[in-house]
Amino acid sequence: MAVTNRGFITILTGIYSFQDCIHFLAAVRKFHQEPIIILIDKVPFILYPLLKSFKNVILKPAPANKNPVLASREAKLALYANSEFAQTIYLDSDICLLSNINDVFDDLEKYDLLLTEDVQPKIIKATNLLRGKQAETLSVVLPTLQAVGLPLEEDSIQYNGGFIAFRKSETSQKLFAEFRQFFEIVKNNQEKLLLKDQGAFAAAIASVKPKLKVLPPNYNYLSKWQDAYKIDGEIKVLHCTYPYRPQYAKDVTRSLYTKIVDKIAQIFLPNQITNPWRTK
């Protein structure tokens, strides 16, 4: 496979996120012309032309799984293997760019990995990774993660997997290989752990120790956690599903084409807000 210089990659595993993905493509194309790979599964072929109407979009099959949650996790594990680029920016398909992020590509000349921290970055407080009520699991988060075999320590950080920039390198390849192995541990301990990838990803980073740069939340701004952020400067990357976006963000992707898709979505696509898989 020939490696090109720069590109984007996202995941579309199911029809619920189709409208999001259309607006994702529109937002990227407003600021960037690099190719975009979509790892796709459980989307009817009849809808593929709507995605391919944007220039330089490459559709690749995502790892198939009958469990949509697990399918999306497996696709994230396959990001490195499916990237055709020397420098890759992965973004969740419910992200909207608000400006170009060429600086991220530029930083990949110096770093293996660029990430943003989770809204609750301390792994010792990552109750979102464990089954059970927060009040009951807070004191046992780290011991539980360590007991199942994840090499995490008190100073380990939980990163938000909705934004991952990486370059092709031996270090990055090893990182994603470790990511896969640690996620197997998560899958095999479902009586204790939720089916999320952040713990496995944090473990891979702790194990491989790539040269990484942590970006501020401007590059992965989750609007539902807006009260938890201290923002300095413009928001570059807004992370929220289309129905919840403020009007200024919707205006970024508004065009005759997206208006038509939105009308079709109201009739033929399932409601994103009531998507049962978003609660898993």
What are the distances in angstroms from CA 201 to CA 105, 123, 206, 226, 239?
A: 21, 12, 9, 24, 19
pLDDT on residue 276: 57
Enter the tokens of residue 112: 């293996």
Determine, yes or no, domain membership for 150. no
Domain ranges, residue 21: 4-121+156-279
Determine, yes or no, domain membership for 126. no
State pTM to two decimals: 0.93
If DSSP codes are grouped into helix, strand and coil, which group holds residue 115? strand
User: CATH number, domain at 230?
Assistant: 3.90.550.10
**pLDDT one-digit tens code per residue, 214-271:** 999 999 999 888 888 888 889 999 999 999 999 999 999 999 999 999 998 888 877 7
d(CA 66, CA 51): 23
Determine, yes or no, domain membership for 132. no
pLDDT on residue 280: 44
Mean pLDDT estimate for the chain: 93
**pLDDT one-digit tens code per residue, 23-65:** 999 999 999 999 999 999 999 999 999 999 999 999 999 998 8
The predicted model gives 72-84 an average pLDDT of 96
Determine, yes or no, domain membership for 177. yes
Determine, yes or no, domain membership for 27. yes
pLDDT on residue 223: 82
Q: Please list the alpha-helical segments (H only) found in 195-255.
A: 198-208, 247-253
Domain count across the chain:
1
pLDDT on residue 266: 85
Determine, yes or no, domain membership for 142. no
pLDDT on residue 3: 53
Determine, yes or no, domain membership for 192. yes
**pLDDT one-digit tens code per residue, 247-262:** 999 999 999 999 999 9
pLDDT on residue 275: 58
pLDDT on residue 93: 97
Determine, yes or no, domain membership for 147. no
The predicted model gives 182-204 an average pLDDT of 96
